[in-house]
A and B are shown apart, each in its own frame.
Chain A
Amino acid sequence: MSLKFQETTLDNGLKIIGEHNPQAQSAAAGYFVNTGARDETSDVAGVSHFLEHMMFKGTARRTPEDINREFDELGANYNAYTSEERTVYYGAVLPERGEKLLDLLTDMMRPSLRQSDFDIEKNVILEEIAMYEDKPNFRVFEIGNERFYNGHPLGNSILGSTDSIKTLEREQMQAYFEKRYAPNNMLLTLAGNYDWDVVLNQVTGLTQDWQPSETTRTYPDLKSQDGVQSLNDKTLARVHTALFAPGVSAQDDLRYAAAILASCIGDSSGSRLYWSLIDKGLADSASLSHDSADGVGSFVGYVSSAPENFEKVLAIYKEVLLEVEENGLDSEEWARAQRKLATSLTLRGETPFGRLMSLGASYLYNKDYQSVQDVISAVFNTSLDEATKVLANKPFSKLYTLSMRPE
C-alpha cells in the first residue's frame, strides 16, 4: 500500500490532514471539533452533545430534511459522536462522491440552530437520557466517572441530566457554539481515496468566512477519589461494578505500556481477570482497559456478578490488580498482549472509515502523524520495563469502585 500523509492549515486556522490511499474503494472525511463535556460549565451540562444533534438540523443552504436526504443520496456511512473531549462528524462514501460529502459536512459546521428544531430535538435528547437510565452497566460508569474524577472536568457527564437539558436555552447553545466551533479549534481529517488539491480548493472556498477565536481548555491536576462505594437499585438482577484507577495521558510515552498492561489484566479473553473470574463462572463479564485522555488518563474496569457472589468477586478482582502491581507481568503474557493489540490495530486500519477515527483522534492529542505501521512498531517496541514504570505509581492502590446493587 502506498500511503501518503498530507497536512495544511488554512488562513482561518482550520487544520486539514489526510492519509491518502489510492487503492482504497472509498473515501472518508470527518470534522473533529476539539470540544466536549469537559469544556462545559455546569449551567450548560450536556450542551456539546445536544449541539451535535442540532448540527444535523439545517443551515443557511439546507433544511434538516435536505441534510438527511443528501447523506442518504450519497450512500454515505455517516454519523456523529460526542465524547468528554471531542465532537466528531463523519462520513464515508465511494470516491466519486467525496466532493459532495465534503460540501455537506462543511456546510453543517455552520448550523442555523432554529428554535423550533431545538424544541423538538430536546425531546429526543430526553429520550436518549431515559434510554441510558435503563442500562445499569452504563449508569454505573456515568456516576462512577463523576465521583472518581472528583471535580476534574473529565468527570462531566456527556448527556447532562434531565434537569440540565430541560432548562437549557437555545441562546446558551448558540454562545457555546460560537466559542468552541472556531476553525482554529477544529480539524478536518481525510482518509482513503480522495484528491488533496480538490479538497483544499473546495474547503478553502467554503470556509472563507469562518472566524478564528480564542479557545481554551483547562488542565487541572487530578485528585482522584479512591475507596469503595455502592448504590442500591431494587430493580436490578445483577451487581454492576465500575472500577477506576489513575493512568497516563494520551501525550505520555507510557500510554502504550498502560494499554498493553490493561490488556494482560483485563482483556475479554485470555487475560488474568478472564481466568480468575469468567472461566471460574464467578462473573459473566470482567474487564479492564486503559483510557488515555488529553493531559490525564485512567484505568477503567467493569465486573458483573450475582448479588450473593459480589463481595468475593470484587475481592478477587482487586487481588488480581494488586498482584500485578506488586509482582509485575511475565514476558510471555506481555508478548501475547502486544500481538493481540497489533492485530486489532491492523484490522481497525483496514478501511478508510476505521482509519479516519484513529487518525483524527491521535492528531488532536499529539499534533503528529502515525501510520498504522508506526503504531504497531511502537506497540512491539514497548518493553516490560515501561509497564514497571506505570506500576511504580501504584495506580491500583488508588482504586475507586462503585457498585450498583439490587439490595
Chain B
Amino acid sequence: MPGPKFSTTMSPPFYRLQAPGGLPGSATFERDDTLGHYFKLRGRGSSSVPPHILSPQLPIELGIARDRRVRRGGGAGKEYMTFSASLLAESLAPTLELYAAIVRRPHLDEGEFEGARTLAQQELESLQDSPTQQLFEALSGQYFASPHGNSSYGTHDGLGAMTPATLRSGYERRFSPRGAVLSVAGGVSWESVKAIAEKLFADWQGAGTDLPKVSVHAEGQAHLEQATQQVQIGVAYEAVMPGAQGWYENALALGVLNGGMGARLFSEVREKRGLVYSVAAVSRAIRGFGYTLAYAGTTTERADETLSVLLGELRRLSEGVSEEELERARTGLLSKLVMQGESSGARASALARDIFLLGEPRTIDEIKAALTALSLDDVNSYLSKHYNPKFTVLTLGSKPLAKAALA
C-alpha cells in the first residue's frame, strides 16, 4: 500500500467526528509497550509545527473530548494503536494537524521518558488489583504461541530495560503510512477531509514492519492462584477468520449464545442456575485470524459447576440452533447495526477496523444483506461442519478447579 487509506461516512444530523489512525505497532512486535504508553501519555507534536500546536492542552482548547489511547485486551489492541477524538466539525482541520504532528513528529525527549516509564510500570502494578483484566492478559499469553499473546502492559523486566534510544528506534521502525488508516464519520464532507489529509499525510514515508503469523497452543487448562472472592474463568478457542466463509454464520451463532438476556449463556448459567452475575462470550478478530473469548465469574464453591455448564453450552452450539433462536440473534445484530450507525464515533471505529482487517470498509447495507441472506440451514450446516471448539481454559482464584473436558 502506497500511503494511508482514507474513508468517510456522512450521518447528517450529527456534528461529531472520530479519527482513529490505526498504526501497526504495539504489543505484537515486542514484549513491551512502553512505546504505547509513551504515546498515551505524551504524544505532543514536534519542532516542525507552530508553537501553539505544541501546546499539550490544544486538544482541550479545541473542545475535543479526547480519547487518545492504546487499546488493550482483545484482538484489536494486539496489532495497532488507535488515536481517536470526538469533536465539533469546525475543529477538524486543526485537530488533524495536531494528530499528524503527534503521529509523524513526536517528541521522544529523554526528559519525558522517565515519567512515561514510571506510569507504564504503575499501570502494570495496578493490574494486580483487577483480577478480571489480569485473567484476560494471562489467557492471551496462554492461548497464543505467536507474539499476539504479549500483553500491551509489558513486563517489569522489559519496561526496566527500555531506554530513550530503544524507544526512538521502535518508533522509527513501526510508525509508517503502510497499513495506517484514518477514518472520519460525521457532518463533514469527503472533499474537505481528503484535502486536509492529503496536506498532512501525502508526503509521509516509511516502510513499516510486517505483521507476524498467528499461531496458537493446543488446548489446555491452567490456574493462577490468588486470594480473591470470586474465581475468574476465561476460555479461548479458534473461530472463523475475518472476512472468510462462515464469518456471518459464526456471528449469528454467537448471537444465539450471547445475544441478550434470553440467549443461551445468560439463560443457562445465570437465570436457571444462579451461578454467576457475569457470563459472556465475545468474538475477537486480528488480521487473518478469529477467535472467541468466554468469561464467567463465580464464588469458589460454584466454580466447577460453572465451568462445566459454560463449556457445555459453548460445545452444544455444534448441534445447531433453532429457528427462533436464529431469528432473535439476527434481529439483535440488525438492530444493533442501525443503532450503532446513529453514533458517528462507533461508525468511525467500524470503518477503520474493516479497512484494517478486511482491506476495505463495509456499508451498513452490505452487512445487513449478508446477515439477512443466511438461512437456518446455512447456519446449522456451518456449525455441524466447522464448529468444533478446542478450549484453552485459564482460571484465577484461591484454588484450582477440577480438570474439564477441553475438546
Identify the B interface with A (CB < 8 A). Answer: 13-16, 41, 56-57, 59-66, 86-88, 114-119, 122-123, 125-126, 128-132, 226-230, 259-263, 266-267, 270-278, 297-299, 327-329, 331-336, 338-339, 341-345
Contacts and interface: CB of A to CB of B under 8 A. Distances in A.
Contacts of A67: 261
Contacts of B86: 343, 347
Interface stretch (A123-131, A145-153, A356-364, A394-402): A123-131
Nearest to B256: A72
Contacts of B273: 120
Contacts of A92: 339
B248 to A, nearest CB: 16
Contact of A343 (B87, B116, B260, B339): B87
A347 B278 contact: no
A21 B15 CA distance: 16
A25 B122 contact: no
A236 B118 CA distance: 19
Interface string A123-163: 11111101101111100000000000000000000000000
A80 B118 CA distance: 39
12 contacts: A69-B328, A71-B260, A72-B263, A120-B274, A127-B277, A128-B277, A237-B125, A336-B60, A340-B60, A347-B86, A351-B343, A352-B342
Given A126-B299, A281-B116, 10 more contacts: A25-B338, A25-B339, A69-B328, A71-B262, A72-B329, A94-B338, A131-B230, A235-B226, A283-B122, A339-B61
Given A279-B41, A336-B60, A56 B261 contact: yes
Interface string A72-103: 11111110000000000000111000000000
B277 A72 contact: no
A133 B229 contact: yes
Contacts of A68: 260-262, 266-267, 271
A123 B274 contact: yes
Contact of A240 (B123, B129, B271): B129
A198 interface: no
Contact of B13 (A23, A121, A123, A342): A23
Size range of the chain A interface in the assembly: 35 or more
A238 interface: yes
B277 A280 contact: no
A350 B277 CA distance: 31
B398 to A, nearest CB: 10
Contacts of A236: 128-129
Nearest to B123: A284
B125 A134 contact: no
A343 B65 contact: yes
Contact of A127 (B126, B298, B329): B298
A74 B331 contact: yes
A343 B67 CA distance: 13
B402 to A, nearest CB: 20
A211 interface: no
Contacts of A237: 125-126, 128-129
A365 B117 CA distance: 45
A24 interface: yes
A238 B126 contact: yes
A276 B301 CA distance: 45
A12 interface: no
Q: Which 3 A-B pairs have the closest CB atoms?
A: A75-B335, A281-B118, A339-B63
Interface string A319-344: 00000000000000000110110111
Contacts of B338: 25-26, 94
Contacts of A281: 114-119, 122
A306 B125 contact: yes
Most buried by A among B66, B126, B227, B276: B126
Interface string A266-283: 000110000000111111
